[in-house]
A = this chain, B = another copy of it.
């Protein structure tokens, strides 16, 4: 009998989720099973933002012997960085039975990568790509502390290859969290700009997905509701009420679910260009790119700037002014390389629309 490959993706869900203010207090209960044997230890990867926040750290029920890492978030993670986290665990000869990642997209991704490498030999770089991870990861729990990247729901963990400079994730079903805790109390201390920029990551990738040619009813449903929630949050008087933060946390999760069966469009490739060449973080880059994409996304463009105004948010401007030709060449190259999203948005002849000159003009609008 022939085994057909239908080309239809087999989307992987997070196994369990808890939702609601205060849900982080369930963490000790969730860790009871992985702590069953006396030698079992939990590895905590926590955004450095919480390093001195005792009231948050106390909820985690960290035990002596556990392995705790405060993850720096100034730069996006590298493969060498992941490898060094692994070495530290191996040197201590720890029996890690669970990994807890708590933070934004960077920290959640770091925790995913470490959990994969604990059960798979070799280095982080060996698994950058699609479905290269061979063994199930260590049981892992994700706790987002800012909403929008969707890292809590996706099957990738993005990192920059230290040698090649290429930014690529370990795309694998094993990368998906077993358990996530969606506690919107944790997002109350985020700065307003950061809250907006990050929240907009889900808005942007969902409006890109909904405008694309590669569509399906389930991806559309997740994207539509994520956009709906972002509208409720960012067009309201106060985007950071308790209710708004709950909604944005759901939008982020659903946006992450949407990624499983959809593609982004024009914004993300340009945004990647800004990250690679200028070192700008992903979420603020998206917002900067929104300055220049009115012709591709006229209605979301208008809505986005209405939200910016409503919430009185600072979006950096003029970031590409005065760059050299060589830098524009690199911007062009690192944008145009994203064939799948650009094809989704503009068709297979996207290169004829996004000429070198057009791409430079577009970056100059930002």
Contacts and interface: CB of A to CB of B under 8 A. Distances in A.
Contact of A19 (B25, B173, B216): B216
A173 B221 contact: no
Contact of A13 (B13, B25, B243): B13
Contacts of A25: 4, 6
Given A217-B250, A250-B221, A26 B8 contact: yes
A22 interface: yes
A294 B17 CA distance: 35
A141 to B, nearest CB: 11
A337 interface: no
A122 to B, nearest CB: 24
B8 A18 contact: yes
A18 B9 contact: yes
A3 B22 contact: no
Nearest to A17: B11
**Residue of A6, A26, A222 with most partner-chain B CB within 10 A:** A6
A301 to B, nearest CB: 24
Interface in A221-257: 221-222, 224-225, 228-229, 243, 246-247, 249-250, 253-254
A209 to B, nearest CB: 14
A358 B214 CA distance: 52
Given A6-B25, A14-B13, A29-B5, A20 B224 contact: no
A117 to B, nearest CB: 22
Contacts of A182: 218
Contacts of A11: 16-19
A61 interface: yes
A28 B4 CA distance: 8
Contacts of A5: 26, 29
A54 interface: no
A32 interface: yes
Contacts of A10: 16-18, 26, 30, 179
Contacts of A179: 10
A50 B91 CA distance: 59
A250 B220 CA distance: 10
23 contacts: A1-B61, A3-B29, A8-B23, A8-B26, A11-B16, A11-B19, A12-B16, A13-B16, A13-B17, A15-B15, A17-B218, A19-B217, A19-B261, A20-B216, A182-B218, A216-B246, A217-B246, A217-B247, A217-B249, A218-B250, A221-B225, A221-B250, A224-B225
